[in-house]
Amino acid sequence: MPRLLLRLFLGSLALLAPCLAGGDAAAQAPMGWKTGPEAAAIERRIDRLLRQMTLDEKVGQLHLYGRREGFDYGEIRAGRIGNVMNFVDPVEMAAVQKAARESRLKIPLLIGLDAVHGVSTYFPLPLGQAATFNPALVEEAALWTGREARALGINWTFAPMVDMSRDPRWGRLLEGAGEDAHLSNIMAAARTRGYQAGGVAATVKHFVGYGGGEAGRDYNTAWIPTEQLHDLHLPPFRSALDAGSLSVMAAFNSVNGIPATAHKGMLTDVLRRQWGFRGLVVSDFGSIPELMAHGIARDEAEAARKAIAAGVDIDMMGFVYSRHLAAEVRAGRVPIAQVDEAVRRVLRVKFHAGMDTINDIDPKTAESALQSPPALDAARRAARESIILLENDGILPLDPARHRRIAVIGALARPDQERVWTDPAGVPRKPLESLDAALARLLGSGATVSYQPGVTTYCGKEFADRAATVEAASAADVIVAKLGEDCEFMGEGASRTRLTLPGVQDALLEELIGTGKPVVVVLATGRPLVLSHLKGRLAALVQTFHAGSEGRTAIAEILTGAANPSGKTPISFPRAVGQIPVYYDHLPTGRPETKGRFRYESIFMDEANQPLYPFGYGLSYTRFSISDLRIETPRIDPNGQLKASVLVSNTGSRDGQEVVQLYVRQPVASISRPVRQLKAFEKVMLKAGSSQRVSFTVPAQALGYHNAAGRLMVEAGGFEVHVGTSSLTELKGEFSVSGSTRDGVRLRP
Ligand code: BGC
């Protein structure tokens, strides 16, 4: 919804491109927590300001208001709006900044935007970034996104989203890092560091349990046992906060019956008391008045009271703090100390982030900060590594000697046809290369590349010139079909019960397969679709999670072999919707599947238990072998570290990258433990024919679990280690943890 507003006025922005600012954005000092005397000086400054501020000015700091037609800049000048969002137009941004400087206390504004996977230069969706298994690259993506946002005057982003979900029915799966807690922790930290180094304060969201909504329906109720909350849902938040995230966003959903926006146990007891978080918490869009719909507040004033008492400092577009807080304080129903504490946290973030030292945007230097060559280069590298090769019968890489006529089919092959829910559309962009143009360029003059959209734009709802499409396909040596989900089929409010290709795309694909020509399908989706019906019928299957500005070029590089695929599935691909949730680190059950289709085991009558493509899976044009697993620490204590190494060899004929994955299992403990869990991974580049020993270190405390009281336990006993190139790996070793007690070891007291 906020993006809709954004789109309404961004059309004018292209005309103003030369006026955009921030040429020296690259030189910004990273944002983050200050320490020692600097931090103490900030607290003294906040004390002074709190003494000077009127109640209305205090409430203004807790109010976040979005850009709209007729926005009254006088409200900023009067100190009644302390934070804004969705401004990107440089003329309006300059007016916003000027108004803040003209306010009585000259307190800087938080100027927020959802810079989810880019601003002007687009990177793969976060789910695709996770598929790279390359945290340094993901950090770089967030860095460029932060820099571009900062160049437009934005100093705060509502990202990273780190919600854990194992439910591809949920449209917002694409904003996270997939099903695995370890991978999500690593990505949460990388993205946080990148954004803040780029000059925008990060907001880790949505706290907590938003990805656990029943049936994958957006905003739905989440019931999450304490153990799972602490083992799965909370760790990526902790990881982002350890990486310095200055703010947190509360979630829309209720978790275990309590709406997250009023969840004192989470927002105050866990976040602030246990974890020591000193930054601010912002509500989600209108989530404070939604406490009435949740059925825990009779009116707006009660919703405001409950939210601020729980620990929500800023009301995003709910207008209930601005309408009711001052009166509630005057009536004695909200203690002024509660308001002061919330204001203190907001000011703390502003001053630790150095927001009052940010220069107004400089109209002259803006363009150079958007889609700069190094940003596009980073986007190309990220796109390449995000692409997952799921199937290949040997047709890829394309060979110009054999594949002379290529028919590219699908509107998504053209950049202007691809609409991704998370893009703040309208920000100036240079023209991008189409898939057909990139293939023609890379295959050279020996090949002929034709293009047919196949479907009308907008989610492939209808055929576009069906006869011409089939004719072009029939005349080709190879069909490359770029299909998928875009527009309303992905993102917020886009939960689905059928995970098929939207519109007529499945029918189109059947026609293409029906030509008898080899079909290479390139998918651009926001989630894993159900692809079982295509098994064995395609020449190759390539998965992307909308690979961004350089995506089509990177896809062409992969298809032609200019780049070797190295992406891995960050989430299991279900065979059928009825399997969901299907994830690799499940518990064993008392009746694990051992005999195949034996009725009294934990199986389905009509479908396999296993996903179609498991977590951590992805093919390459070369072959890797992993051998000689050495456990260097066969016995460790609970404060020690597991050290292990393997020999990785590229036994094929091409250079390539492999993600070497280390999984651990505790076969016997006092509670049932997952069949395996990822605890470490390394992405290595190996020349054809070469080998390398790859080492891993895993702290023993990462082997623990939380009990029903939310306490971390590391239990003594034997552990298995599995190392390989996907979650199915067979290579196995053993070690043990000793010295701990059955009471466990407490971490981070
Ligand atoms: C989303 C948030 C987002 C906010 C502002 C909400 O609808 O849930 O993730 O940051 O809008 O755009």
**Ligand 1 binding pocket mutation candidate from 3, 220, 284 (most atoms within 8 A of CB):** 284
**Ligand 1 binding pocket mutation candidate from 65, 249, 285, 290 (most atoms within 8 A of CB):** 285
User: Hey, whose CA ends up nearest to atom 7 of ligand 1?
Assistant: 285
User: In 385-538, which ranges are E strands?
Assistant: 388-392, 405-409, 448-452, 478-484, 519-524
**Ligand 1 binding pocket mutation candidate from 158, 220, 252, 422 (most atoms within 8 A of CB):** 158
- Supply the pLDDT for residue 415: 85
Query: How many angstroms separate the alpha carbon of residue 58 from the centre of ligand 1?
Result: 24
Atom of ligand 1 nearest to the CA of 206: 9
Query: How many angstroms separate the alpha carbon of residue 143 from the centre of ligand 1?
Result: 21
Atom of ligand 1 nearest to the CA of 203: 10
- Supply the pLDDT for residue 151: 92
- Supply the pLDDT for residue 13: 35
The per-residue DSSP string of 7-26 comes to HHHHGGGGGGGGG---GGGG
Exposed, middle or buried by CB within 10 Å (0-12, 13-18, 19+), for 48? Answer: exposed
The residues annotated as belonging to the active site are 284
DSSP lists the bridge partners of residue 156 as 112, 201
- Supply the pLDDT for residue 214: 98
**Ligand 1 binding pocket mutation candidate from 6, 218, 492 (most atoms within 8 A of CB):** 492
Distance from C-alpha of 382 to C-alpha of 375, rounded to nearest angstrom: 10
Distance from C-alpha of 632 to C-alpha of 646, rounded to nearest angstrom: 11
Query: How many angstroms separate the alpha carbon of residue 220 from the centre of ligand 1?
Result: 15
- Supply the pLDDT for residue 5: 35
Distance from C-alpha of 301 to C-alpha of 309, rounded to nearest angstrom: 12
Look-up of token digits 């020296």 = 24
User: Hey, whose CA ends up nearest to atom 4 of ligand 1?
Assistant: 285
User: Hey, whose CA ends up nearest to atom 10 of ligand 1?
Assistant: 158
CB-based pocket (< 6 A), ligand 1: 2, 114, 158, 205, 284-285, 492
pTM for this entry: 0.95
Residues 528/573, Cβ–Cβ less than 8 Å: yes
Atom of ligand 1 nearest to the CA of 159: 10
User: Hey, whose CA ends up nearest to atom 6 of ligand 1?
Assistant: 285
Query: How many angstroms separate the alpha carbon of residue 178 from the centre of ligand 1?
Result: 19
Query: How many angstroms separate the alpha carbon of residue 337 from the centre of ligand 1?
Result: 29
Region of 103 please: left (phi>0), alpha (psi -120 to 50) or beta. Answer: beta
Atom of ligand 1 nearest to the CA of 2: 12
Query: How many angstroms separate the alpha carbon of residue 491 from the centre of ligand 1?
Result: 11
Look-up of token digits 């190309």 = 380
Nearest of 651, 650, 681 to residue 663 by alpha carbon:
681
Query: How many angstroms separate the alpha carbon of residue 138 from the centre of ligand 1?
Result: 22
Query: How many angstroms separate the alpha carbon of residue 113 from the centre of ligand 1?
Result: 9
Dig out the tokens for 362 from the structure: 């400089």
Query: How many angstroms separate the alpha carbon of residue 361 from the centre of ligand 1?
Result: 25
Residue 350 dihedral angles phi and psi, to the nearest 5°: -60, -40
Residues 642/735, Cβ–Cβ less than 8 Å: yes
User: Hey, whose CA ends up nearest to atom 8 of ligand 1?
Assistant: 284
Dig out the tokens for 605 from the structure: 């009558």
Residues 566/613, Cβ–Cβ less than 8 Å: no
**Ligand 1 binding pocket mutation candidate from 85, 114, 172, 495 (most atoms within 8 A of CB):** 114
Query: How many angstroms separate the alpha carbon of residue 284 from the centre of ligand 1?
Result: 6
Atom of ligand 1 nearest to the CA of 205: 9
Which residues in the chain show pLDDT less than 50? 1-26, 746-749
Any long-range contacts for 625-630 (C-beta under 8 Å, 24+ apart)? 625/649, 625/651, 626/660, 626/723, 626/724, 626/725, 626/729, 626/731, 627/731, 629/721, 629/723, 629/731, 629/732, 629/733, 630/733
User: Hey, whose CA ends up nearest to atom 2 of ligand 1?
Assistant: 284
- Supply the pLDDT for residue 425: 55
Query: How many angstroms separate the alpha carbon of residue 248 from the centre of ligand 1?
Result: 12
Dig out the tokens for 474 from the structure: 């029939």
Query: How many angstroms separate the alpha carbon of residue 253 from the centre of ligand 1?
Result: 13
- Supply the pLDDT for residue 28: 62
User: In 362-447, which ranges are E strands?
Assistant: 388-392, 405-409
DSSP lists the bridge partners of residue 694 as 646
